[in-house]
Amino acid sequence: MKKILIFIFLLNSLFSYSQGFIRPKETKDTTYIVKNNKIYTLVNDVYYSDGNVYTTKQILGDSASASLYFLNQSENKSNIVADLIFPEVNQKKIKKDMQEYIRLYNSFNDRNMFAVTSLRDSAEFMGDWRLIFEGEKILGIIELNNNKRLIFNPDNGKVYTISTNLLLSTFTNQISFSFNGVKYDLYKYADGKFATV
């Protein structure tokens, strides 16, 4: 009986202790400036659901230094947004330029550009892949066809929306294919992961 009580006590202590590992959620984030003897400090208080407050302080210096810091931080955030929006705004022109370069390449080469990139990129792309198309997960393999072009070959043991091989056009960070007359461009966003924009 004594062993059972000790076990229950230890078990209860273990569960009580393990509950301390639950990560509290951030409930509020406040940033403000404190001035002390003409020196400005940026203070950030983060409040958590367990009642704790995590405070960071960054000394900015005098008013000129503090002003320059806030100007630079604001401009940096603006630059991030501009970098993110640039491709979206210029997407049509960039794609048009890309198509023109492909056309020019093909006009004086005896091999199609994508036959060249298929061979160049085969080590990167060949193997088992999963294509998520209109919510459907299509298992298949990327391989070289008889014309030395990369194709996506769906697992023929299953019935998918896409049941025929897809001829792929590749660049290092892009895979393109057409299905039912619609062209799809997928861009690399992580190793082995591509998505439409």
pLDDT digits (tens, 9 = 90+) for 103-136: 999 898 888 888 888 888 888 888 888 888 888 8
Q: pLDDT tens digit string along 78-101?
A: 888 888 888 778 888 888 998 999
d(Cα 110, Cα 108) in Å, to the nearest integer?
Answer: 7
The alpha carbon torsion through 44, 48, 51, 52 (nearest 10 deg) reads -50
pLDDT at 41: 95
Average pLDDT, stretch 23-36?
A: 91
**Percent of the chain topping pLDDT 70:** 87
pLDDT of 2 > 80? The answer is no
Judge whether 142 and 127 are in contact, CB under 8 Å: yes
Residue 42 has pLDDT above 70, yes or no: yes
Does the pLDDT value for residue 5 go beyond 80? no
Task: Note the pLDDT of residue 38.
Answer: 93
Residues whose CB is less than 8 angstroms from the CB of residue 6 and which lie 6 or more positions away in sequence, other chains included: none
Instruction: Write down the domain spans for the chain.
Output: 113-195
Other Cβ atoms less than 10 A from the Cβ of 118: the count is 24
* Residue 55 banded pLDDT, cuts 50, 70, 90: very high
Q: Which residues pair with 72 in a beta bridge?
A: none
Question: According to the model, what pLDDT value does residue 147 have?
Answer: 83
Per-residue confidence (pLDDT) for residue 4, from 0 to 100: 46
